[in-house]
Amino acid sequence: MYIKTEAVVLREVEINDADKLLDLLSKDRGLMTVKARGVRRGSSPLKSACQLLTLSEFTLQDYRGKLTVQEAQSIEQFRPLRDNIELLALGSYFAQAAGAVAQADAPNPELMSLLCNALFALGKLGRGQALVKAAFELRLACLAGFTPDLTACAVCGSPEADRFDLSQGTLSCSGCQTGESGIRMPLSPGMLLAMRYIVWCEPKRLFSFRLDENSLRELSSLTEAYLMTQLEHSFYTLDFYKTLLHYGDTI
């Protein structure tokens, strides 16, 4: 049986002499693992379409539940990411995080669209890394079922709250006692506006907000901590991305 599907390569593992196992995020089938035979040979016609972080049209052979790539045509290679190690590392983190939320046999077009739009915003649109990272993480948390309540302080109802509770996903004021012992992170008015925008905007407008650099860095730390808390997961690709940033700071 043959299957045609549009999918992004989330992860690649080398096996045997010339093969790879690929984790794909498919538009209509969710997460799948497929084998690409001979793809590491220079002459393989599958080579460019089976690269990490490539959106491709795949024709797969399904033999007793084992999937093998028969044909693959790349649709979008997100080329600017391949010329910049920081962007490639951040894109790899996005792919790993999307893979942690995706499920096999569960189509999730919103998730695939979020990942592709984030890679596109990082690369061709040239949006800042902290902005794209923060928007991706918070929106991914929403898609995973952890949409925060950003309307007002959960205690007094003030819309101008200045703390965000990482485990509850709620707002509060510094002076309001929430009765919970979770970690509350400080939130500036600009950060709160940006978070509301990210959670409530149209998907295609997700990366079209502005915030000053310092606030963006703080927002990116907050959205990262929120995503890790809710998913109860850490990501080695994120650790690698951070080592690159620290290395960049010292040269």
Binding site for Zn ion (CB under 5 A): 153, 155-156, 158, 173, 176
Shortest distance in whole angstroms from residue 197 CB to Zn ion: 22
Closer residue to Zn ion (CB): 159 or 248: 159
Shortest distance in whole angstroms from residue 174 CB to Zn ion: 8
Closer residue to Zn ion (CB): 153 or 238: 153
Closer residue to Zn ion (CB): 196 or 217: 196
Kindly report the backbone phi and psi dihedral angles of residue 198, in degrees, each rounded to the nearest multiple of 5, phi listed first.
-60, -40
* CA 209 centroid distance within chain: 18
Cα–Cα nearest to 222, from 124, 141, 111, 112: 141
Closer residue to Zn ion (CB): 56 or 170: 170
Closer residue to Zn ion (CB): 65 or 179: 179
Residue with tokens 């790349």: 74
Shortest distance in whole angstroms from residue 167 CB to Zn ion: 18
Shortest distance in whole angstroms from residue 158 CB to Zn ion: 5
Cα–Cα nearest to 223, from 115, 124, 105, 142: 142
Shortest distance in whole angstroms from residue 199 CB to Zn ion: 20
Residue partners of 195: CB distance under 8 A and separation at least 6:
138, 148, 150, 164, 187, 219, 223
Shortest distance in whole angstroms from residue 137 CB to Zn ion: 25
Kindly report the backbone phi and psi dihedral angles of residue 12, in degrees, each rounded to the nearest multiple of 5, phi listed first.
-135, 140
Residue with tokens 């942690």: 100
Closer residue to Zn ion (CB): 59 or 174: 174
The answer to whether residues 200 and 221 touch, using CB atoms and an 8 Å cutoff, is: no
Task: Give the CA count within 13 Å in the CB-facing half-sphere of 13.
Answer: 7
